[in-house]
Amino acid sequence: MSENKDLEQLGEFGLIDHLKSKFSTVQPTTIQGIGDDCAVIEISDTEAMVVTTDMLVEGVHFNLMYTPLKHLGYKAVVVNLSDVCAMNAKPEQITVSIAFSSKYPLEAIEELYAGIKAACEHYGVDLVGGDTSTSYTGLTISITAIGRAKKNKIVYRSGAKDFDLVVVTGDLGAAYMGLQVLEREKEVFKSNPSIQPELDGYDYVIQRQLKPEARKDVVQFLQELDVTPTSMIDISDGLASEILHICKSSKVGCHIYDEKIPIDGSTSLAAIEFNLDPATCALNGGEDYELLFTVKQADYEKIKGNPHMTVIGHITDERDGCYFIDKNGSAITLKAQGWNHFNA
Ligand code: ADP
Ligand code: MG
């Protein structure tokens, strides 16, 4: 009981910090251990390999009532490739480990792997191994992704500096609204299975939830623009949580402006229908798998007007703190919702 309470108090990130404090690295090839989107391992004087693992657990990360297995396989790969992109690296290989009930039909596993294959083809990565086990508690998928980059092009969470600009790719909040729509239709279906789901007009937000993409294209654009971000992270847990990771790792503060946050019109419409503030969905929703990065002011001209990138704020001194400036100009302290925030 008391141990559970400790875990609750620590939260996911506190637990990771606690575990990390018990280990130190001894290999000179370990450039970056626990604490970034990927570990970084030296492979030559100029090149490094990046490695990341993400696990999707039935009932926690997905619900098979409304998640097609093919989409699930695709998403399981994407969430890992997104972490590789967040290091400004190019994904090359994945391994896939699955645990599932022995009652599963072969077709179900084939569907899952059809999605995994589609992602491998789309992103040009090779499936090179994995593991298979029985599960008594539902489906679990754990994927490891491996990528490569020039050592001097790797971007960490820790490099943001005072006055840097804060940039986000694509638009935010849609995946969270997609989840709200799917959850609502699930409840309607449970109470009356003869009612057809009402999904018209929600295509974009549902697609963002069920079939996200990793911004490998943005890594390419940045290279073409000759911009190396000073820090970068992918948005898996919501903008607020991710900018706080950058600020903590970089020992800086920030100002993020409500009016600058890119939100698709269909996300705003869905949010308003659900009595939610669209900005709150962007800040706390998560699963957008967009990239959040900082650049030097001198690089502004190179990214200005780029349709994939929006400047949403700037970095400040650590002592100034981390603030969200709302549409009335009021500064609100940024807070991460932490784990299990979907249950709140
Ligand atoms: P992301 O959201 O980018 O996948 P996480 O928040 O899951 O990152 O993890 C943050 C860091 O902690 C990463 O470096 C990850 O490898 C590490 N990490 C997470 N869980 C564990 C664990 N159980 N043991 C060791 N390292 C972990
Ligand atoms: Mg990440």
Model pLDDT, residue 80: 98
For residue 297, the CA-to-ligand 1 centroid distance in Å is 31
Q: Is 18 in the pocket of ligand 1 (CB under 6 A)?
A: no
Pocket test for ligand 1, best of 10, 12, 16, 142 (most atoms within 8 A of CB): 16
Alpha carbon of 328 to ligand 1 centroid (Å): 37
Termini Cα distance of the chain: 21
Measuring from atom 11 of ligand 1, which residue has the nearest CA?
35
- Contact status, residue 39 vs residue 51, Cβ threshold 8 Å: yes
Phi, psi of 325 (to 5 degrees): -100, 115
Atom of ligand 1 nearest to the CA of 83: 3
Q: What span, in angstroms and rounded, lies between the C-alpha atoms of 329 and 93?
A: 46
pLDDT digits (tens, 9 = 90+) for 10-33: 888 889 999 999 999 999 999 999
Q: Fold match between 36-153 and 157-333?
A: no
Q: Is 236 in the pocket of ligand 1 (CB under 6 A)?
A: yes
Q: Are 130 and 96 in contact (CB under 8 A)?
A: yes
Domain spans of the chain, in order of start = 1-27, 36-153, 157-333
pLDDT at 239: 97
Over the stretch 260-304, which tens digit does the pLDDT of each residue have?
999 999 999 999 999 999 999 999 999 999 999 999 999 999 999
37 C-beta closer than 6 A to ligand 1: yes
Q: What is the CATH number of domain 36-153?
A: 3.30.1330.10
Residues lower than pLDDT 70 in the chain: 1-5, 338-344
pLDDT at 4: 66
What is the rounded radius of gyration, in angstroms, for the C-alpha atoms of the chain? Answer: 20
How far is the centre of ligand 1, averaged over its atoms, from the C-alpha of 13 (Å)? 8
- The structure tokens listed for 196 are 């057809």
- The kind and range of the H/E element at 9 are helix 2-20
Among the atoms of ligand 1, which is closest to the Cα of residue 12?
A: 6
User: Would you say domain 157-333 falls under CATH 3.90.650.10?
Assistant: yes
Task: Check if the beta carbon of residue 135 is closer than 8 Å to that of residue 85.
Answer: no
